[in-house]
Structure 1
């Protein structure tokens, strides 16, 4: 397993465990997170993940990682509950890496995360 794939697996394991601090350690200090039209700018990720993990509990299942060196793509499924109903969606995350950490994440989700 490459170091980039190990980073992605750590990121997903930390997410699934609800460990915002471990998750945050995967990012550069100025990293950004983009989901659809919503962008969390650099410097605000810690608060974003702490708030998100306090209110939602989705689980990610890694299907595969495509390691392009400084750009890594992870194909996953995400499962969550909304209004008492189990939901699932396919998603792809594109991670731009700098010195072994995530500098930018862009998430492409099938359907709506609000559904």
Structure 2
């Protein structure tokens, strides 16, 4: 996957996330994609519920910082903002995406601090 297509995929993913458009967000995932954030791995087949619940409860937003393209593996540095308990929160994070045929097959999210603190 070339840099242009990779960056397009990542930006489409971020835009769908920020629009809370679960259908658009899931369109770039392989059907059996794995998503891990912190120590939690979303069970197979539950990505839709995971994202829908998160987007309703904490209204997260991502800001793109930079992308490191390793071909089939991409690292993306982001800033995430969200609301929890009526308070605005911000954290830096890195998302590692494994890619195959233009789709995300595996994601691992590394976040500074806690998503709910």
TM-score normalized with structure 2 length? 0.93
Following TM superposition, by how much is the alpha carbon of 1:104 offset from its aligned partner in structure 2, in angstroms?
0.4
SS at match of 1:43: coil
For the 8 Å contact 2:58–2:84, the answer to whether it is kept is no
Aligned to 1:12: 14
Structure 1: 5+ residue runs without aligned partners?
A: none
SS at match of 2:18: helix
Following TM superposition, by how much is the alpha carbon of 1:51 offset from its aligned partner in structure 2, in angstroms?
2.1
State the superposition RMSD in angstroms: 1.1
Aligned to 1:52: 54
Aligned to 2:109: 107
Structure 2: 5+ residue runs without aligned partners?
A: none
Following TM superposition, by how much is the alpha carbon of 1:52 offset from its aligned partner in structure 2, in angstroms?
1.9
SS at match of 2:53: helix
Q: CA 1:82 to 1:51, structure 2 compared with 1: closer, same or farther past 3 Å?
A: closer
Q: CA 1:47 to 1:78, structure 2 compared with 1: closer, same or farther past 3 Å?
A: same
Aligned to 1:89: 91
Determine the C-alpha separation between the residues in 2 that align with 1:43 and 1:80.
25
